[in-house]
Chain A
Amino acid sequence: MLEVKNLKAHIDTADGVVKAVDGVSFTIKPGETVGIVGESGSGKSVLAHSIMQLNPKPPTFYPEGEILFEGKNLLQLKEKELQNIRGNEIAMVYQDPMSSLNPVFKIGDQLMEAILTHQHMPKSKAKMRAIELLTDVGIPDPEKRLNAYPHQFSGGMRQRVLIAIALACNPKILIADEPTTALDVTIQAQILELMKSIQDKYGTAIVLISHDLGVIAQMAEKVLVMYSGRIVEKGSVEDIFYHTSMPYTWSLLRSLPQIDAESRHRLFNIEGQPPNLIHPPNGCNFHPRCPFATEQCKMVDPELTKRSANHYAACLLSEVEFKEGKKRIENAEKEGGLKHV
């Protein structure tokens, strides 16, 4: 349904060109959930905004690539044609429920605006639809709540309203950019359940962007791991979590504290900081922080290569080298850093 081909989104700044998204390809099929995971600055939000064509141009420009939605290249559509897709066929839920609603308009007006922009219907009918949407996202007493202002809602409730607005026109794709990051865990659980039930009901495809590997494991079927503007590994949830084939994903998983760990051991240290995207390192972007890096990694930029049916990873190491490297690190940890209670 949606196909992103070798997309590059670069941003012109006073210090040079930031390669925020640098050659990303993936597809989304109807009704599936794709998780995009990465640290801050890895380009996940720029990628999401590129699909919606919401990055300000300039300074953002797209030197290469295509975003095909039902055969149309979104990068070449006119603003007016984009308006028909944005919010109507592809909708977005933002991270911060505190600042993405307009504080001076009532919830009902904001919901009806979304409905009336894309659908021709009398206001009374739009109001009925708004009530229906609020019921769908689990807001009690929806008729009364239409007249409430955003400040009268809690964070979790506002996120529900944002989801309702996104669903207003039955979009085919829902892009959720860190939808639960600002929420408490118990509220996060509620919102994730809600997104799942909405997907079951309407068959919406969801692109879920998050830095939280736990949220991704719970929600997604397909996972893209991003690092410094590129996809470094993609595959099914099982591939990513159990057949991890590249050092970044592996180190990231090991650096997480485990809630159900049997013993307490030292967290894995990924040395250093994510790279500067104006002057990315030569060769593999991850090599300065990679515990497995070889001389070759400093020169050659790895491409995504096939590991199994739908599993791709960008790493020069062969399967055997990676396995031996893991063993080496695990042994070193056992001798040195392991700390049991």
Chain B
Amino acid sequence: MSESLLEIRDLKMHFPMKQGVFQRTKNEVKAVNGVSFTVNKGETLGIVGESGCGKSTLARTIVGLLKPTSGDILFEGESILQYNAKEFHRLRRNIQMVYQDPFTSLNPRMRAGDIISAPLKAYNQTDNLKNRVLELMDLVGLKAEDYHKLPHQFSGGQRQRIGIARALALNPKLIILDEPVSALDVSVQAQVINLLEDLQEELGLTYLFIAHDLSVIRHISDKVGVMYLGKMMELSESESLYKNARHPYTNALLSAIPIPSSAREKKRERIVLTGELPSPSEPPSGCVFHTRCPFATEFCKGNVPAFDVDEDNSPGHYVSCFYPMDNKREEFARQ
């Protein structure tokens, strides 16, 4: 199970900001700024972060919609950035994506059946096409009579099911889900999450699950990575991250979430962050989080913390902070 499927090495995606008559590059938006992680076969890696932290850019870079500035992406041990068009086409059937907004990610003039069969046609798998599509529709819980319906005739949850069926059509190994449930109502969100879990078990899929909702991420992920301003702040097994978060940012995020239970809500201590997300075109010096970090020191302003792991005390738990919050929690509470 621990075989690596996708490996990201120091990935950077910088967008140039062009200005003036000659469109000279004045500055860069560092959307993804040095991110590394591995996704093993059959597991779910959750990526969580606030808007503007670069999580969607990361997804778009992996599926080849954007060409990264530097770094490497390895799929089954092979670097995919060197691939030519033909090789890339062959690879892409193994990496599929489900998008956030079920209202705009489906062509309003195509029927459900045609939407789901589009990837099959692109790869010339047209034998028994209709049967395969009906099989996929059944798999995601759509009815056969929905085949000829147009997207506007479906509800949000059903549309997301069409998007999932489309992603499954070519039997991919990896599915990248970019905020797949954030546009849905609570009761429908639960249906889609359960469906995704069933499909993973049935088909042995690997998920890269991107969301801003920490509760959803915790529910579905084996491993979780927390991003802030284009960098990975913390990465670990889900249990370890939620029970013993080491980065102050993760702690702040966790404490900011309202819990739907008034007693537990009242018991909690909060770290309320002041200020707002800095602009990714001018990230702060040193640790990018120091401008909002309640525990930042002078040292944090000048030095960039390494993405490191304390193998003795918390193996496999990476954190990018000079002062991880292992034993300091009580100390800070007292202050």
Cross-chain contact A266 with B253 (CB below 8 angstroms):
no
Cross-chain contact A186 with B218 (CB below 8 angstroms):
no
Cross-chain contact A259 with B218 (CB below 8 angstroms):
yes
With beta carbons under 8 angstroms apart, the residue of A185, A213, A264, A267 that contacts B50 is: A185
Cross-chain contact A252 with B186 (CB below 8 angstroms):
yes
Cross-chain contact A218 with B265 (CB below 8 angstroms):
yes
Flag the segment in A25-33, A123-131, A268-276 that touches B: A268-276
With beta carbons under 8 angstroms apart, the residue of B50, B218, B262, B276 that contacts A238 is: B262
A184 at interface, CB cutoff 8 A: yes
CA gap between A39 and B156 in the complex, in Å? 13
A230 at interface, CB cutoff 8 A: no
Interface-central residue, B191, B193, B261, B277, by most chain A CB under 10 Å: B261
Cross-chain contact A258 with B262 (CB below 8 angstroms):
no
Cross-chain contact A189 with B261 (CB below 8 angstroms):
no
Cross-chain contact B270 with A255 (CB below 8 angstroms):
no
CA gap between A227 and B188 in the complex, in Å? 14
Expressed in whole angstroms, the minimum distance between the Cβ of A196 and any Cβ of chain B is: 12
CA gap between A157 and B274 in the complex, in Å? 12
Nearest-neighbor residue (CB-CB) of B201 within chain A: A339
Flag the segment in B76-84, B104-112, B121-129, B208-216 that touches A: B208-216
Cross-chain contact B50 with A184 (CB below 8 angstroms):
yes
Nearest-neighbor residue (CB-CB) of B155 within chain A: A273
Residues of A with C-beta under 8 A to B219: 257-258, 261, 264, 267
With beta carbons under 8 angstroms apart, the residue of A186, A237, A268, A274 that contacts B253 is: A186
Residues of A with C-beta under 8 A to B261: 217, 241
A190 at interface, CB cutoff 8 A: yes
With beta carbons under 8 angstroms apart, the residue of A193, A237, A255, A264 that contacts B272 is: A193
Chain A: number of interface residues, binned into ranges:
35 or more
**B270-314 toward A: CB 8 Å interface, digit per residue (1/0)?**
101110110000000000000000000000000000000000000
Expressed in whole angstroms, the minimum distance between the Cβ of B252 and any Cβ of chain A is: 6
Do A186 and B260 contact each other (CB < 8 Å), given the known contacts A39-B185, A255-B190, A269-B191?
A: no
B242 at interface, CB cutoff 8 A: yes
Cross-chain contact A184 with B212 (CB below 8 angstroms):
yes
Cross-chain contact A218 with B258 (CB below 8 angstroms):
yes
**A169-184 toward B: CB 8 Å interface, digit per residue (1/0)?**
0000000000000001
CA gap between A269 and B212 in the complex, in Å? 22
**A241-270 toward B: CB 8 Å interface, digit per residue (1/0)?**
110000000011101111111001011111
Nearest-neighbor residue (CB-CB) of B193 within chain A: A267
Cross-chain contact A241 with B262 (CB below 8 angstroms):
yes
Cross-chain contact B252 with A269 (CB below 8 angstroms):
no
Cross-chain contact B256 with A186 (CB below 8 angstroms):
yes
A40 at interface, CB cutoff 8 A: yes
B118 at interface, CB cutoff 8 A: no
**A321-341 toward B: CB 8 Å interface, digit per residue (1/0)?**
000000000000000000101
Nearest-neighbor residue (CB-CB) of A253 within chain B: B260
Interface of B is mostly: helix
Cross-chain contact B190 with A267 (CB below 8 angstroms):
yes
Do A185 and B256 contact each other (CB < 8 Å), given the known contacts A255-B189, A257-B216, A339-B197?
A: yes
Size of interface on B: residues with Cβ below 8 Å to A: 44
Residues of A with C-beta under 8 A to B186: 39, 211, 213, 252, 255-256
Cross-chain contact B194 with A184 (CB below 8 angstroms):
no
Q: Which parts of B140-175 form the interface with A (CB within 8 Å)?
A: 155, 157
Interface-central residue, A214, A216, A252, A259, by most chain B CB under 10 Å: A259
Residues of B with C-beta under 8 A to A242: 262-263
Cross-chain contact B260 with A217 (CB below 8 angstroms):
yes
With beta carbons under 8 angstroms apart, the residue of B188, B216, B255, B264 that contacts A273 is: B188
With beta carbons under 8 angstroms apart, the residue of A188, A238, A266 that contacts B256 is: A188
CA gap between A316 and B66 in the complex, in Å? 56
A187 at interface, CB cutoff 8 A: yes
Cross-chain contact A211 with B185 (CB below 8 angstroms):
yes
Residues of B with C-beta under 8 A to A214: 257-260, 265
Residues of A with C-beta under 8 A to B213: 257
Cross-chain contact B185 with A154 (CB below 8 angstroms):
no
Expressed in whole angstroms, the minimum distance between the Cβ of A278 and any Cβ of chain B is: 15
Cross-chain contact B257 with A185 (CB below 8 angstroms):
yes
B254 at interface, CB cutoff 8 A: yes
CA gap between A269 and B157 in the complex, in Å? 13
Expressed in whole angstroms, the minimum distance between the Cβ of B197 and any Cβ of chain A is: 7
B27 at interface, CB cutoff 8 A: no
B187 at interface, CB cutoff 8 A: yes
Do A259 and B191 contact each other (CB < 8 Å), given the known contacts A186-B253, A267-B219?
A: no
CA gap between A156 and B212 in the complex, in Å? 16
Q: Which parts of A306-325 form the interface with B (CB within 8 Å)?
A: none
Residues of A with C-beta under 8 A to B242: 259-260
Cross-chain contact A259 with B259 (CB below 8 angstroms):
yes
CA gap between A259 and B243 in the complex, in Å? 10
CA gap between A305 and B189 in the complex, in Å? 30
B51 at interface, CB cutoff 8 A: yes
A164 at interface, CB cutoff 8 A: no
Cross-chain contact A237 with B262 (CB below 8 angstroms):
yes
A113 at interface, CB cutoff 8 A: no
Expressed in whole angstroms, the minimum distance between the Cβ of B248 and any Cβ of chain A is: 12
- 6 closest A-B pairs by beta carbon, nearest first, are A214-B258, A257-B219, A213-B260, A255-B190, A270-B187, A189-B256
Can you pick out 26 interface pairs between chain A and chain B where the beta carbons lie within 8 Å of each other? A154-B277, A185-B253, A186-B50, A186-B252, A188-B256, A193-B272, A211-B185, A212-B258, A214-B259, A215-B258, A218-B258, A241-B260, A241-B262, A241-B263, A242-B263, A257-B218, A259-B242, A259-B254, A259-B257, A260-B242, A261-B218, A264-B219, A267-B193, A271-B191, A273-B188, A339-B197
Q: Which residues of A contact B (CB under 8 A)?
A: 39-40, 154, 156-157, 184-190, 192-193, 211-218, 237-238, 241-242, 251-253, 255-261, 264, 266-271, 273-274, 289, 339, 341
